[in-house]
Amino acid sequence: MPVGTRQASLAGMSARKIAAWHAAGLIDAETRDRLLAYEADHARPLALWAVSGIGALAIGLGLVSVIAANWEEIPGQLRLGVHLALIVAALGALFAREERLAQASPWAVEALVFVTAALGLTFFGHIGQVYQTSSPLWQPLGVWLALFAPLLLLMGRSWPAAMAVVGGAGWCAWEYATASTGWLAARDPGFAMRLWLAAVTAAPVLFAPLAAWQRARSARPDFWRRLEQLALAYAVGGGTLACGLASGGGYNGEASLLGMAAMALRGAVGVLAGLGVMLARPGISGRMAGAIIAGAGLVLPLAHALEDLTVPAAALFFALWAGIAAAALAAHWRGVFQLAVGVIAMRLIILSFELAGDLLASGFGLILSGFLILGVAWGAVRVSKTFAPRGESEA
């Protein structure tokens, strides 16, 4: 277990639990005394914090209520000016006091960074509300990413900032693709446009090699690790969705050369991202993470080629998640392995329903399906308990 996780676990122990462990012979008296001393030194007045938080929340809700009740009476330019002033003040506090805030509490920096980014995102909606303007959603999202993604990358420390970057990029990319294809719905988008949209929607996975390269070179390795994990999840989610669409005919029978070329390009970006992670982190963890991303990329064109072929598409799904499980075993990622086993079991149940849909219309078929679900769930639990890594290594 990493040192930070161990310390966090010890910090949450109660004196009674520590005494019980000592009475059971699990720890000696010296260890007990050290744990009790640590708990005493790091005790936090949770009740006081809770009362203070409730008071601050009440004040904040009161202010929001007062402003909301008089929203239409406040001039739009004044509201925008106050909104912009809040963003500037938050940015000033970050750049002038980041080190001091980080020494007091790293979470203070993370919270201020996230609030600043949120204020920036809502500012564009505020402009549209004041001036009664509208535009495709990808445009304000793109401007927001250009202005605030560098702030999140430079100062982010935890999940919220990493999620804002990867999630915002993915949201913007797919909104752009949706708006572009909708605008061009009256005619075929053409080869160049399809390739461009494929590259745009695949771009968020490129955060993975960037984050992998930064993990050993930054004072914020946890942030970059989370950014890499989110980019990996984006790649795996894309591969999983592609298999599901192929199994259910979600591509609308479009196994055309144009569609295949677009999926091949999207897959190639994933493969390159996976290779980049392997080069940036040559250890077992980096190699396995890169292999998962590259494998998810390879799945994309294959899934498109298996359009409306239920069993082959399902087999491709199983191959993807079996590969993830194998990588998790090699890298000792217990949680990822258990997730992969659960996903495979769920897909197996869904496949049985797809292949025997007529049986579900009868009571006997429902009984059989119930036993099947129980059997698959039991098998998944047994496999997870038998083969899951005993320890959890850092991804």
Boundaries of every domain in the chain? 75-173
Non-local CB neighbours of 4 within 8 Å, separated by 6+ positions: none
C-alpha separations of 301 from 234, 271, 313 in Å: 16, 12, 12
Sign of CA dihedral 379, 381, 382, 384: positive
Give 190-234 as a DSSP string: -HHHHHHHHHHHHGGGGHHHHHHHHHTTSS-HHHHHHHHHHHHHH
Q: Which pLDDT value is given to residue 11?
A: 43
* 3-state SS class at 39: helix
In order along its 395 residues, the chain shows pLDDT tens digits of 343 443 444 344 467 777 778 787 778 888 878 877 776 665 555 565 566 567 666 766 676 666 666 667 778 788 888 888 888 998 888 888 777 776 767 677 778 888 888 888 888 887 887 777 778 889 999 999 999 999 999 988 888 889 999 999 999 999 998 888 765 444 456 678 888 889 999 999 999 999 999 988 888 888 999 999 999 999 999 999 998 888 776 555 444 666 788 889 999 999 999 999 999 999 999 999 999 999 999 999 998 888 778 888 889 999 999 999 999 988 888 888 889 988 988 888 887 777 665 555 555 555 666 666 667 667 766 776 776 676 656 66
Predicted confidence at residue 84, as pLDDT, reads 87
Residue 370, CB half-sphere, CA atoms under 13 Å: how many? 6
Helix axis angle for 221-247 and 310-331, nearest 10°, is 160
Separation of alpha carbons 251 and 307, rounded Å: 7
As a whole number of angstroms, the distance between CA 388 and CA 395 comes to: 15
Q: What's the pLDDT at 100? A: 77
**Inter-residue contact 237 to 250 (CB < 8 Å):** no
pLDDT, position 393: 62
The DSSP 8-state label assigned to residue 392 in this structure reads -
Q: Which of 271, 138, 146 is nearest to 208 (CA)?
A: 271
**Amino acid letter, residue 255:** A
pTM over 0.85: no
Whole-number pLDDT of residue 214: 93
CA pair distance 49, 55, nearest whole angstrom = 10
